[in-house]
Structure 1
Amino acid sequence: MSTGLLAQYAVIALAVVASIAVVMRKQFPNATRRLRIALALPLLREGAPAWFKPLGRAIAPPARVAGKGCDGCDNCGPD
C-alpha cells in the first residue's frame, strides 16, 4: 500500500469519526453525555497515572446546573 493511499484512508477515517461525533451530539445528547462520563470516570479514579487526569477532565461533560423547575430527575420541566 502506497503512502498516498494510506494518507487518503486516514483522512477519510477522520472525516467519518468527526461526522459520527456531530450526529451523536445533535441527535443523541443524553447517550453522548453518558458515553463521555463512562470514558472519563476510569481516567479520573484514584490511583490513575497523573497524565490521565487532564485527559479525563477534557473528556468529561460539563456539570449540569439545576434550574428553578428542576426536581433532580434529569428532565427539566417548565418553571
Structure 2
Amino acid sequence: MDAGLLAQYAIIAVAVVASAWFVARRQFPNAVRRLRIAIAIPLVREGRAAWMQKLGRQIAPPTTVNDAACGGCNSCGPSTPRRH
C-alpha cells in the first residue's frame, strides 16, 4: 500500500471519529457522560500508576454543582422584567 494512500485513510478515519464524537455529545449527552464515567472509574482507583490516575481524571466528566434546595439550574431568584 502506498504511503500517501495510507495517510489519506488515516486522516479520513480521524475526521469520522471526531464527527461521531461531536454528534454523540450533542444528541446523547447523558450516555456520553455515563461512558466517560465508566472508562474513568477503573483508571482512578487506588493502587494504579500515577499516569493512569491522571488520565482517568482527564477522561472523567466535569462535576456539576446543583443547589441543594431545588437541584436545578442555579438561576434562582426573580428575573428582571423586560422593558419594551
The two structures share one fold, judged by TM-score above 0.5: yes
| Alignment correspondent of 1:16 | 16
Q: Which runs of 4+ in 1 moved over 6 A?
A: none
Q: TM-score, normalised by structure 2?
A: 0.79
Structure 2, unmatched stretches of 5+, are 77-84
1:1-79 alignment runs, 5 A limit: 1-67=1-67, 68-70=69-71, 76=72
Aligned length in residues: 74
Give CA-to-partner distance per residue, 1:18-61, whole Å, 9 cap, x none.
Answer: 00110011000000000000111111011111110111111000
Return the alpha-carbon distance in structure 1 between the equivalents of residues 26 and 4 of structure 2: 33
| Alignment correspondent of 2:79 | none
Return the alpha-carbon distance in structure 2 between the equivalents of residues 32 and 52 of structure 1: 20
Return the alpha-carbon distance in structure 1 between the equivalents of residues 2 and 49 of structure 2: 38
The structure number with the bigger radius of gyration is: 2
Return the alpha-carbon distance in structure 1 between the equivalents of residues 48 and 6 of structure 2: 35
Q: TM-score, normalised by structure 1?
A: 0.84
Code of the residue aligned with 2:70 in structure 1: it is: G
Structure 1, unmatched stretches of 5+, are 71-75
